[in-house]
A and B are shown apart, each in its own frame.
Chain A
Amino acid sequence: MELDRRNFIKFVAGGVGGTLLSPLPWKLIDDIAIWTQNWSWVPTPARGKISHIDTVCTLCSGACGITVRKVGDRVVKIEGREDYPVNRGGICPLGMAGQQILYNEGIRWKAPMKRLGPRGSNRWKEISWIEAIDTVSTRIRGVRQSGNPEQVAAIDGNQSRSSVALLIRRLLETVGSPNYLVMPGQEHTSAMVQLLMQGSDGPVALDLENADFVLSFGCGLLDGWGAPGRMMHTWGEWVSRGPKERTFVVQIDPRASDTAMKADLWLAPLPGTEAALALGIAHVLVKEKLYHKEFIEGHSLGFDDWTGQKGITHRGFSSLVLEKYAPRDVENITGVKAELIIRVARKFAAARAPIAVAGRGKGLLPGGLYEHMAVHALNALRGRINKRGGALVAGNLPLSDWPEAERDSAARDGLERTRVDGAGTPHYPFARSLIHRFSESIRTGSPIDTLFICSANPIHTVPDSRGIEEALKAVPFIVSLSPFKDETSLMADMILPDHTHLEKMTDIVWPTGIQYPLYALSRPVVRPIYGTRHSGDVIISLAKKIGGSVARSFPWKNFEEAVKQRAKGLYDAGGGESSPEGSVPVWKRLAKGQSQSKGHSSFQSLWEDIKTSGCWYIPSHSFGRWTEAFQTPSGKFEFYSSAIEAAVKNSSKGGSLDTTLQELGIRARGDEVYMPHYEKPGSGADKGYPLHLLPIELINLASGWIGNPPFLNKTLFDYQLKGSDLFIEMNPKTAAEYGLSEGSRIILRSRRGELRARTHLFDGAMPGVVFIPVGLGHTAYDRYLKGKGANPYEIIERVEDPLSGQPIWWNTRVKVVKI
């Protein structure tokens, strides 16, 4: 056959038709599709037996119950525990992303490390645990022999009553150093208020679930404050009660925060004027005689004008607020309309179970002491102390004490010396620890030889973080116990890495803000995946290696034994429950006080129970006892704090009162000093810095020492973080004044430093204020975090709160430069 044009076309057409009719092309397309989808690097998750393990999340001191789903020996999912008394199912996004903290080896130290090269060069050599413990213990022995044991210091971010924190404290005590520092937090301010007004040192216990009116002064109730799982669950509870019983929430916040947007009423005072607003509400309560007469007359000191011991007439709290905080005056200070103040005060008074709570954002940083006192005074005015739905007066958990630590002569000597940060001295009478003063003294030459840093990342999470960084540069030897490659551990000389939360046992003694005694205990859900070691065990082995009286003070084989010894007290105390039933929440049972304890035959069986359930709690509270509630010198609730009076007197010994008050940073004079009042912040020179900078905390952006896990990056809007650009929030009107529009690139400059950002215009931002989310701007961690955004704490000015001495972080002025 001739191959002409016609035949050629016939052949090609026939060929095409024939091929199409055959299965070949379809098979090929299918194969190609499958082939392009089966790359070896697409992971195939291993199968295995699915199991669920109940434990407690210890990423913060909220202690939410979690269930960990495992496949084989891998953790695949974390869920909230419906039966756990704290959170009853709810957990926060950080807790839910816990597996990314466990398995992301890009952020973890896998073994003990020794620094090579200069500090911050990030060059390390892996060493054995024996060598690591040897090096550190030899160093401490050397410091002790040189006669300066106080040059060993620790910065500790563990919950202050937890066993790891107690072990670290004990190590310093037996070594002979008073320089044990804790990371600052709002809990410290609240504890100070309890001490000053109620004379008690018990935990802060707020019966929020039973309240029907919540007056929140900036507390980020839904932004991660307290135990976040508990707060979010409680909020769902509040609004599910139907229109009449529904808890009414008033949020006081300069920005439309998540809490403010969900609240029934949102008041926006100028930042830092919350105390004046609280006292304005107090004014209305006093003026309209809406206060609780029985409580005020029988159980409070300093409400009316009164005469003291030496016949001196003192001014009462009532006349102070009547004179100085009339709604019109408060309007001038705060910018909140007088009518609104009156309305809120009347509603607060009319509520059946109202509660006023102080705090800012997540409560990771301290608040203003007088401000917290002013807010707590509202609870007192309505007799809301130790009442159902109010602020409860609580004792401590009945844990056993460890045997007394042994102090040799070197230790006794060292402990006599003053703390480097000056906490507890006449200048800072109520502070337990002042991290910003610590860094300042180091920078100005106070010698610290060896510094331990545990569960904390002060270079990133403390206001004026650059100051901390400079201070750390001056410390010859830093030992980090962090499991993470965070900014602070990168500055260390030696890393003794801890396990992450899912790999270890941790106790949390009375989670933040819970209203009944609760002991939470987490258990390891997986075997440690790297060569890390429990910090508790590390401290014990260190002590043993140091030897002598130090070693004798740590008689335990391991951390669990030490924890167990403390928990023995729970068994001895009796009562208590350790297996939550789940049907009726604990807060509903408090008044009835029925405990359904199983009656354990031995401590061992209770201990096994606690290890499985993760909790031990007493579901009862005796409400209303006012006669025994207060341990103040007067035995009453003190509007006029005799503790402040005594401290000021002690501080001014031999000097003039005026100078002392100046040194304490108090502007008020006379009796006002001892009572809740509004201190106008010392802003001084606003010139050239027209805007106010306010760091804000978001529930879906981890801002503490734990770096934000990748899953949470998904939840950030692209007008919060875009590429590596952080967005600041600004009112459109303010932006217009500076010629800025959505997405403009700016430099934000304070007297302390500057940062680059872009603008997001948000109507809910107060004009004249710049809001910056906290938690970004890392220079450490992995590609998911490093180099993204900026850290507002770097440009925060170092100002101290009057009397408490804690750093103020809400009072920095900035200017904006468009680029």
Chain B
Amino acid sequence: MKSKDNATGTRYGMVVDLDKCIGCGVCVVACSSENNVSVLYDESDKTRNISWLKIYRITNGKGFPETEAVYLPRPCMQCDNPPCVPVCPATATRQDPNTGTVSQIYTRCIGCRYCMAACPYHARDFNWYDPSFPNGMDRYLSPEVSPRMRGVVEKCTFCHHRLMRAKAKAYAEGRRDIAQDEYIPACVEACPTKAITFGDLNNPKHEVSALIKSPYSFRLLERLGTEPKVYYLSTKDWVRRMADNYLEGEFIDRP
């Protein structure tokens, strides 16, 4: 689905203010806990572990003490034009036309990992092992999200079950609209500095629709045409420049 087709309707998106993000990792823990993400004994094996939301630390490359470092949390970009969807031979991943969110159906996934190869953001993880919740830790699993099995790909769903919960509540109260704060993913709710804002990018009542128009907003690898719905804000030029590949002299610093 192209973004131009999506001028109306609901498009859930996220704005992460990197000036506020302190890299504390609360969003990662909240996400893993909310979505029954399994933990390996060796989580330092970053090619095998699973983290729907991953934090990167980027630096401006200058020597001490001119160094600057910024944390960048990376959930699934929930692209309007997702490269992972058309490559799936099993139709296990698709974009919801009503929300713009890219889903993953675990029981359909055949584990070929084409989608992982297609995703330029490394937002998808493969279950190389059986899910592991040893020593009685399966007792904290939430029934709202099904645990995945070995051999399937999983990814951030913008906490889809929370949308279902909000919809059910609205339906029970005879409403069709869901207010801005009725549906937010676990990471957004958990962020202690309130660096992440979530909402419908098309809805002028939602804060995100204004934030994405900020001159400091940008998206990752925008030139690929994937049209991510996760936006970032940073007043630092070097951070924005790092978000994509620019030719020398092409990126113009703001004065």
Q: Do A42 and B130 have beta carbons less than 8 Å apart?
A: yes
Interface size class for chain A?
35 or more
8 A Cβ contacts from A680-732 to B: 699-700, 710-718, 721-723, 731-732
B189 close to A (CB within 8 Å): yes
A9–B205 Cα distance when bound, in Å, is 68
List the one stretch of A84-92, A151-159, A344-352, A558-566 in contact with chain B.
Answer: A84-92
Residue of A33, A36, A93, A766 near B25 (CB, 8 A) is: A93
Q: Which of A108-129 contact B (CB under 8 A)?
A: none
**A308–B128 CA distance with the chains assembled, in angstroms:** 77
Asked if A42 contacts B147 (CB within 8 A), the reply is: yes
> A239 near B20 (CB under 8 angstroms)?
yes
Report the minimum CB–CB distance from A756 to chain B (whole Å).
16
Of the residues B23, B26, B152, contact of A37 by C-beta under 8 Å: B152
For B26, list chain A residues within 8 Å (CB): 90-93, 96, 232
Convert B8-45 into 0s and 1s, putting 1 for each residue whose CB lies closer than 8 angstroms to a CB of A.
Answer: 00000000000110111110111011101101011111
Does B119 have its Cβ within 8 Å of any Cβ on chain A?
no
B20 partner residues in chain A, CB cutoff 8 A: 235-236, 239-240
Per the bound structure, the CA–CA distance linking A718 and B106 in Å amounts to: 28
User: Which residue from A43, A700, A710, A717 sits with its C-beta under 8 Å from B147?
Assistant: A43
Q: Does A97 lie within 8 Å of B69, measured CB to CB?
A: no
CB under 8 Å from chain A, chain B span 217-248: none
With beta carbons under 8 angstroms apart, the residue of A714, A721, A763 that contacts B29 is A714
Chain B hits for A741, CB < 8 A: none
| A contact residues around B81 at 8 Å (CB) | none
Could you mark each residue 236-273 of chain A with 1 if its beta carbon is under 8 Å from any beta carbon of chain B, else 0?
Answer: 10011000000000000000101001100010100000
Find chain B residues with CB under 8 A from A653 CB: none
Report the count of interface residues on B (CB-CB < 8 A): 67
| Cα distance, A710 to B195, chains bound together (Å) | 25
CA A301 – CA B231 in complex, angstroms? Answer: 56
- Is A596 engaged at the interface, CB distance under 8 Å to the other chain? no
Q: A36-B151, A714-B49 are in contact. Are A97 and B130 (CB under 8 A)?
A: no
B98 at the interface (CB under 8 A from A): no
Contact mask B120-141 → A, CB, 8 Å, 1/0?
Answer: 0000000000110111111111
- A47 at the A/B interface (Cβ < 8 Å)? yes
Q: B64 to A765, Cβ gap below 8 A?
A: yes
Are B36 and A714 in contact, CB atoms less than 8 angstroms apart?
no
Asked whether A43 and B44 contact (CB < 8 A) given A99-B33, A711-B32, the answer is no
Interface residues of B in 79-94 (CB under 8 A from A): none
Q: Which of A74-82, A388-396, A467-475, A613-621 contacts B (4 or more CB under 8 A)?
A: A74-82
Q: Is B25 a contact partner of A715 (Cβ separation < 8 A)?
A: yes
A229 within 8 A of B: yes
Q: Do B39 and A711 touch (CB < 8 A)?
A: yes
Question: Which of A44, A45, A236, A721 sits near B44, CB closer than 8 Å?
Answer: A721
CB of B55 closer than 8 Å to a CB of A: yes
* A75 and chain B: residue at smallest CB distance: B140
Q: Is the CB of A103 within 8 A of B143?
A: no
A137: CB under 8 A from chain B?
no
Within 8 A of A (CB), among B85-109: 106-108
Q: In this assembly, does B59 line the interface, its C-beta being within 8 Å of a C-beta of chain A?
A: yes
Q: A96-B33, A714-B49, A783-B41 given as contacts; is B149 within 8 A of A37 (CB)?
A: yes
**Chain A residues at the B interface, C-beta cutoff of 8 Å:** 33-34, 36-39, 41-48, 71, 74-80, 87, 89-93, 96-97, 99-100, 102-107, 222, 229, 232-233, 235-236, 239-240, 256, 258, 261-262, 266, 268, 699-700, 710-718, 721-723, 731-733, 762-767, 782-784
Give B contacts to A, CB under 8 Å.
19-20, 22-26, 28-30, 32-34, 36-37, 39, 41-46, 49, 51, 55, 57, 59, 61-65, 67-71, 106-108, 110, 130-131, 133-143, 147-152, 186, 189-190, 192-195
